Amino acid sequence: MELNILVVGQTGQMGRVLEQTIQKSPHHLVAGIGHPKDITKEDVNIYSDFNDIPQPQDIDVIIDFSTPHLLEPLLNFATKHKIPVVIATTGIENTKLIEKASQAIPIVYAGNYSLGVNVLEKVAEVVAKALKDFDIEITETHHNLKVDAPSGTAHMLFDAVNRGRDHTLTQHQGRHGLDAKRTKQEVGMHALRGGTVVGTHTVSFFGTDEVIELTHTAYSKQIFAQGSLKAAEFIVHQQPGLYDVNDVLEGE
Among residues 145, 123, 97, the alpha carbon closest in space to that of 201 is found at 123
Q: Is 196 annotated as a binding residue?
A: no
Q: Is 116 annotated as a binding residue?
A: no
219 in a known ligand binding site: no
41 marked as part of a ligand binding site? yes
* First and final C-alpha spacing in the chain: 14
Q: Of the candidates 119, 118, 109, 116, which has an alpha carbon nearest to the alpha carbon of residue 88?
A: 109
Q: Is 100 helix (H, G, I), strand (E, B) or coil?
A: helix
Q: Is 100 noted as a catalytic residue in this protein? A: no
146 annotated active-site: yes
The answer to whether 112 is annotated as binding is: yes
Q: Annotated binding residue at 9?
A: yes
Annotated ligand binding at 170? The verdict is no
H/E stretch holding 119: helix 115-130
Compute the distance between CA of residue 204 and CA of residue 206 in angstroms, rounded to an integer: 6
Phi, psi of 87 (to 5 degrees): -100, 115
Q: Which of 146, 155, 201, 230 is catalytic?
A: 146
Q: Is 12 annotated as a binding residue?
A: yes
The active-site residue out of 27, 142, 155, 190 is 142
Point out the annotated binding site. 9-14, 41, 88-90, 110-113, 143, 152-153
Residues annotated as catalytic (active site), given as ranges: 142, 146
Question: Which residues define the annotated binding site for NADP(+)?
Answer: 41
Residue stretches of the annotated binding site for (S)-2,3,4,5-tetrahydrodipicolinate: 143, 152-153
Residues flagged as binding site for NAD(+): 9-14, 88-90, 110-113
